[in-house]
Chain A
Amino acid sequence: MDKVVRMSSEKGVVIVSKSSCCLSYAVQVLFQDLGVHPVHEIDKDPDCREIEKALMRLGCSTPVPAIFVGGKLVGSTNEVMSMHLSGSLVPLVKPFQANLC
């Protein structure tokens, strides 16, 4: 859990993902389109399982991708897509748009 907290507050926007997860990749592409480039891949992390469990406990239906903005969990792909279509995603990530990985 600590690791999750640490990861999520590293940068403004954090996408917790796995290199094998293509949906995570899709979310990455979306954020790149918005000018944000942070990714944190956990499958090479030794605590991968623990991190996944912690993410599930936080309320994610699937452990990856998990998107954090400003240290707060925004959600998974569903939430991000909904927010983007409703127009609330861009204002949320605007302060971090110059953010480079």
Chain B
Amino acid sequence: MNSTSTHFVPPRRVNIYEPLHQFGMWGETFKSNIGNGNINTPSHIIIPNNQKLDNNLSEDTSHGTPLIFDQETSTSRHPDKIKRRLAQNREAAKKKNNVLISFQFAYVQQLETSRLKLIQLEQELDRARQQGFYVGNGIDTSTTTSLSFSENMNPGLYQEQGSIDKNQNLNVKIKTGIAAFEMEYGQWIEEQNKQICELRTVLQGHVGDVELRLLVEIAMKHYFDLFRMKSAAAKEDVFFVMSGMWRTSAERFFLWIGGFRPSDLIKVLLPHFDVMTDQQILDVCNLRQSCQQAEDALSQGMEKLQHTLADCVAGGRLGEGNYIPQVNSAMERAEASVSFVNQADHLRHETLQQMHRILTTRQAARGLLALGEYFQRLRALSSSWATRHREPT
């Protein structure tokens, strides 16, 4: 009968390898392969040799100590049977041992990967900071900044990258997608305000057509930039764009498929063109009509989309909780919404273009100023309204 000396070998750093310590709590025995260095362990793990956890776990049966996982042997009276049983147990233990060792190994590898990931994230964080991106820290410290507010309103706004270990309290959220769009939009508004100021100043004074044309081109391009931004954002989260969450409350009141109504645009601009030729009047009338027709068509298409999406979600049997039976169909509808946002923006784009074509440079400049001021006033109304609400009654 062999008495192989088996030792449980707990790693020295118990705090990280807590589960390994728990392995030892099982009534299993371990061979000293680890101690012999048969397994290639990472260098920073030091596993001491020859530490016996408990005499009870020793397989040394020369003292007649029964094995914990096989009570039968203690009651058997045949030494051969005992021998065979022990051999079987040893084999089983070997297999389990190997499983456990590979378990340990996998766990250790996982920790290594996490460690490397953490280093990588820290590097990315530094790089992002240098590039001027906003980086928020910690989800537990919920400060009432606008960003954390929008996180509450829109879960999934921020893509969490590498929340490694909650105990270590390192949750780095780097802005992606929608959050980046919000930031970009903030900058767009700032630029918009500057342009409006400049237009106002220039129109009050005397300025040549060339300079005016340049300002008009810049203002038009600014709107087109917004449509591009929205298109990208719609791909990320179409519901976000559709609901106009990125706009102020009064603007949202007039929302039509994620933005302003093209026909509203004409309505806002028209009073500010003092003198118009007959041809211009005719052209604007035609534009207004075709714009209205296009709007109606898109509105009806949108309605149909909403109905079919609602049907998808509402279908199925009662009592199935949040299970969507036609989830693929529903997702397809959501996808189709993206093309509607794009079409609506295309309509806005075209309306602006046509107005630009019909009007003279000076008229176009006045029109763009009027449009810009209109939205400024809506934004001002939103904050006035919000402030009014907070007054104590």
Contact = CB atoms under 8 A, between A and B. Distances in A.
Q: Is chain B found bound to chain A in the same assembly?
A: yes
Interface of A: 20-23, 25-27, 29-30, 33-34, 62, 77-78, 81-82, 84-87, 89-90
B144 to A, nearest CB: 40
Interface of B: 283, 286-287, 290-291, 293-294, 296-298, 300-302, 304-305, 308, 332-333, 336, 339-340, 343, 346-347, 350-351, 353-354
Contact of B301 (A25, A62, A86): A25
Q: Ordered nearest first, which 10 A-B pairs have the shortest CB separation?
A: A26-B301, A30-B297, A22-B305, A29-B297, A85-B350, A26-B297, A22-B301, A22-B304, A29-B300, A84-B290
B79 to A, nearest CB: 77
Given A21-B336, A22-B340, A25-B301, A82 B350 contact: yes
B296 A33 contact: yes
A23 B287 CA distance: 22
B346 A22 contact: no
A85 to B, nearest CB: 5
Contacts of B339: 23, 62, 77
11 contacts: A22-B333, A23-B301, A27-B297, A29-B297, A30-B293, A33-B296, A77-B339, A81-B343, A81-B350, A84-B294, A87-B287
A84 B286 CA distance: 10
B346 A81 contact: yes
Contacts of B302: 22, 26
Contacts of A90: 290
Given A20-B332, A21-B336, A85-B351, 6 more contacts: A22-B302, A23-B343, A25-B300, A29-B301, A77-B343, A78-B346
Contacts of A29: 296-297, 300-301
Contact of A85 (B291, B301, B333): B291
Contacts of A62: 339
A84 B336 contact: no
A80 to B, nearest CB: 9
B240 to A, nearest CB: 20
A22 B294 contact: no
